Amino acid sequence: MSRCTTTPVPVPPLASDRPAQAAAIRSTLDEAAAAINTQHAQVLSAVIAMKEQNLHRSEFGFSALRDLLVSQFDFTFNTAGAIAAIARLSGKFRVLAEAATTGKARIDQVAFAVRQLDQTTAMRHFARTPFKNPVPSPFDPQTLCTTPEAMVTEYCAHATFKDLRRHLDELWASIAEATELFDELGQQSMQRLDLTPQHNGMWALEGQLSDATGRLLEKYLKTACPPPRQDETDTDGILPPQANRHAEALHQLLAGYGASPQASTRHGHTATLNLVVDIETLQGHDTGRTPLLEGQPISPARARLLACEAAIIPAVFNYRTGEAVELGRAERLPNAALRRKLELEQPDGCAWHGCGRPVAWTEAHHLQHWADGGPTVAENLILLCRFHHGRIHTPGWTIEKTGPGTAVITHHDSHDTQTGPSQGGQGPSEGDGCGCSDWRTDKDMDAEHRDDDFDYFPTGLYRTEWSETLKPDLDALAEAIDHDRAVKAMRAAKAKCRETYGTPTPPAGPAVPGGPPPWLGCPPRWQPGRGREGTPPACRGQPPSSNPHQVRAYRHARQRQPTPAHTHPPPTQTLNRPGSQRRTRSPSPPCRR
C-alpha cells in the first residue's frame, strides 16, 4: 500500500500579516545596524590605540591606516577610509572621536565632519574655541555645547547628512570674513579664457572662471538652454594677461546682459543672483544670521561686497519688524544719468592708480556703504574695476574722493580702518595720510610688489592676498610662470652671447678622429703662413713660448701628454692624412733598460 505525499504550497500572507512582517524585518535590521555600529566603534577604538602607539608602522609595516585595514583585515574601502580618517584626526577632535568610539554617532558622519573641520587652520582653531556662553543643542535643550566641535557632534548624532553638511557650511561662512574676500581676489587672478579658431572652422573655448563668474555663467546657461535629454547626458566625469582680460570681459557680458530685460528668461527671471540678508547683518552687527547667495551661506563681508554689484539682487529683511526692506535699484545703484556723469568724470576707467580696465567694466563703489545710510550721489560714488573693488573691501584700505573722478586710496598695516570712508568716517588727506606711520597709497603698494619674487599675475595680486584655500593652485601657477621666465632669460642670454662673440665656424673638411675640436685653431698671436709649408710654429708641435703656464695650456688644448720636466722635448714627426688637418705627434719615449 502506497501513500501519496504532497508538498504544501506556501500561502501568500494575508493583508493583516504584512504589518507584522514589516515590524519583524524592522526589528531585524535595527538589531543588525546596532551590531554593525557597535563593531565599528570597537574597531575604531582599536585603530586609535594602534595609531597612538605607532604600531601600524613598527609591527604591521604600514604608514597609511586605510591601506592596512583594506589589505590585512579585508575591510571595505569606504569603511576603512572613514575609520582611518577619524583615527588620524582623533588627537585634534577628541569630542567627535569619542562620539564615534562610544557609538553615539555613526563613523561615516563623524568622518565627514573631521575632514571638513581639518581643511584649514582657521577652522581647526575655531572648532575648539569655547563659546562665550554654552549653547543648547537644537536636538536636546538640556544638552549644552561648549565648543563648535560639540555642536557638530550633536549634528552627527541626531541630524541627517544633508543637515550636517549645511551646518558645517554655515560654520565656515561665519569665520570666513576677510579670508573669503581674499579667496575671491585669488580666483580673479587665476581666471582665464581662451577662444581659439580650429582648422575645421570651429572655435575652441577653454579657461578657468572665478566663483562669481562661474555662478553667473552656469545660471545663465541653465536659463537660456533647455535641460538635456536622457540620451544627451554625459556621465564621464601660463596665465597671459589677455586671457585674464577675456575672463573679465565674459563676466561683464554676463553681468550686463543677464540683468537686461531682453535676456533669456525662465519663470520670469533673468540670469541674476539673489542675495538674502538682513539689514543689521549687512551693517556689521553680530546677529547670528548668515547671508545666503542662491541659497548657499556666505560671510557678511562678502555680502557687503556683492550688494554693490549690479548682477546681484539683494533681498534685505528687517527681522525686528518681520518685513522686507525695500531697497530698490534706484537707491542702491546709480541711474543712467548719474552713471553717465561718473563716466564723464572718470573717462580713463578704474580709479586705482595704473589700472587699465575700461570705464565700461567699472562698478560704482559707495564710499559710505548704502546699507550704512550712504546716499547714491556723485559725491559718495567712485568707479572701480571688479578686482580693485573687491580689494577695497578687504581689511586695511580707505578711500577718499578728492574731486570729480579723483580719489586717494591708502592702506594701513598695523590697524584696521573701521572709521574710513567706506564705513562712513573720514579718509586720509593727500598730504599727510591718516596720521599713523604705516599708511601707503595704492601707487606705493603697487610699486613695492611690482617685479618682486611673487609678481606673477596680470591683476597685480599681492603675496599677502594669496588665500589659504587657493595657495596650492597659486603656487603651482606661479612656479610654472617662473620656469617660463627662466627659460626665456636663458634664451635671451644665449642670443646676446652669440651677438657679442659671434658663432664659431669650424673649418671645412671632417675632423681628425681623436684629435682636438676642429674650431680650436692656432693662437691668434702667431700669423699663418710662417714656418715650414706655411704652417705656423704652433701647428708643428712647438710650444708657443717658454712660459711654463702657456706650455701647459697649449699641450692641454692639443690633447697631449706633458713632457717630463727632466727630459728635453723629443723631435716631432708630421702625420699627413688625406682630407685632414696637419697635426704633429711625438714618438714614443726611448726604452730605458
Name the H helices within 429-470.
Answer: 442-449
- Reported as a pLDDT band with limits 50, 70 and 90, residue 49 is very high
Give, in order, the Cα–Cα distances in Å from 478 to each of 113, 120, 278, 375, 453.
32, 21, 40, 42, 10
Mean local confidence (pLDDT), 472-488: 87
Give, in order, the Cα–Cα distances in Å from 18 to each of 10, 12, 22, 560.
15, 10, 6, 105
Mean pLDDT computed over every residue of the chain = 74
Give, in order, the Cα–Cα distances in Å from 139 to each of 102, 105, 528.
19, 14, 102
Whether the CB-CB separation of 308 and 389 falls below 8 Å is answered with yes
Whether the CB-CB separation of 289 and 318 falls below 8 Å is answered with no
pLDDT of residue 202: 75
Q: Rounded to 5 degrees, what are φ and ψ at 296?
A: -105, 135
Segment 307-331, tens digit of pLDDT: 676 556 666 766 676 666 655 444 6
Mean local confidence (pLDDT), 194-198: 84
pLDDT of residue 94: 92
pLDDT of residue 45: 92
pLDDT of residue 96: 93
Residue 434 has pLDDT above 50, yes or no: yes
pLDDT of residue 225: 58
pLDDT of residue 514: 56
pLDDT of residue 314: 66
Segment 525-579, tens digit of pLDDT: 444 444 444 444 444 445 555 555 555 555 555 544 445 544 455 544 444 444 4
Who has greater pLDDT, 556 or 206? 206
Pairing status of strand 312-318 against strand 273-278 = parallel
Mean local confidence (pLDDT), 254-265: 63
Who has greater pLDDT, 503 or 30? 30
Give the Cα-Cα-Cα angle 386, 399, 191 (nearest 5 degrees): 20
3-state secondary structure at position 564: coil
Quote the CA–CA distance of 212 and 86 in Å, as a whole number: 34
**One-letter amino acid for residue 29 of the chain:** L
Grid coordinates standing for 125?
582653531
